[in-house]
Structure 1
């Protein structure tokens, strides 16, 4: 058997290529967002002033910031799911993560100076978002298991951030709170805790 014949035989016997991990994770996150969005709309309804909300600072933080954060974290998680790969220095990813960190830091500093930045409803809001993020995080971790992450905790943390951001998008369809400080504290806090949960779960689920 010649070399060319061997190559043709191996090519014919090779399994069909799997979809790219990024596409699979995007499909998982999108399906989770759609399911949670339908559940929130059915259970609580959708804000009547939702289009107008998108033009406000809080609306941009909820929807635009949440979507960008989910995409950036998901992209980096996929990169870490390949052995030997390092996260790409993507301007969008870096800018999104830096802005999110600044928002959380600003809110935490403000909360230390003024109790008005931490209303009682913030804890309830964050708890609801965390519960919504749990099934998306589970699906994301199962999807990322297809890869072979050498840093499972870091990969899990990014999956948790992506899941928390997606849960925020679904919850924001109903959430009537529009204060920038409230949104940064409750939504940002929920995403941070989801990232921590993802790191803990990823250390076990993604280890190999």
Structure 2
């Protein structure tokens, strides 16, 4: 039986080229390098707070930064997985981490409302600087995650963008939080949480046009 040549198929096949497979470990390593680079940048530009090692940090310091770090890791892992969609790809870990983190700013607002002075937030001399610095230091993680998504094929660009912004904001705020000596609940629960909210908004609006396929 003779094979009938099909020039259309041959023409389409001629444009094909091998694609390097995306591995989960590579995406995790990329984010890890971004986080390490961010912490090094914080050390070079501002200097990490040595009070952590000398025992001067309060419990709020470890709780707030620990929650930021866990949120950043969980949502970044979700983004890495979303670049390669598959059946049963769940993001419950990221959602639960976000719900857990939301307790921090809510607790800060409740404490300010019942036992503190609301002006403690608006008159915080370091608050705006921490918000801006935490947001600025999220750029490296944001770029790493967007670059990874562009290599893949996320099914839901909007959700992927939101998680990207949350992860970048949390990791950036976590990195800068290691340099911030202000460890009160009101300061950490408001000004160190705001980069996460800003990141979620920027990611939701800005990432989808960059990763559509």
Q: Distance in 2 between matches of 1:87 and 1:98?
A: 20
1:21-60 equivalences under 5 Å are 22-51=24-53, 52=55, 56-60=59-63
User: Comparing 40-49 with 134-143, which one deviates more in the overlay?
Assistant: 40-49
Q: Distance in 2 between matches of 1:104 and 1:86?
A: 32
8 Å Cα contact 2:158/2:207 also seen in 1: yes
State the 1:160 CA deviation.
1.2
8 Å Cα contact 1:103/1:184 also seen in 2: yes
Pair 140,47 (structure 1): closer, same or farther in 2 beyond 3 Å: same
Q: Distance in 2 between matches of 1:155 and 1:162?
A: 10
8 Å Cα contact 1:29/1:166 also seen in 2: no
Match of 2:158 in 1: 153
Pair 150,16 (structure 1): closer, same or farther in 2 beyond 3 Å: closer
Uncovered stretches (5+) of structure 1, i.e. residues with no partner:
1-13
Match of 1:204 in 2: 209
Is residue 187 from structure 1 mapped to residue 192 from structure 2 by the alignment? Answer: yes
Q: Distance in 2 between matches of 1:170 and 1:129?
A: 8
User: Comparing 128-137 with 49-58, which one deviates more in the overlay?
Assistant: 49-58
User: Comparing 39-48 with 190-199, which one deviates more in the overlay?
Assistant: 39-48
Give the structure with the larger helix fraction: 1
Match of 1:75 in 2: 77
Uncovered stretches (5+) of structure 2, i.e. residues with no partner:
1-16
Q: Distance in 1 between matches of 2:143 and 2:88?
A: 24
Rg larger for: 2
State the 1:60 CA deviation.
2.2
Superposition CA RMSD, Å: 2.6
Aligned residues: 192
Pair 182,87 (structure 1): closer, same or farther in 2 beyond 3 Å: farther
Pair 19,150 (structure 1): closer, same or farther in 2 beyond 3 Å: closer
TM-score by length of 2: 0.77
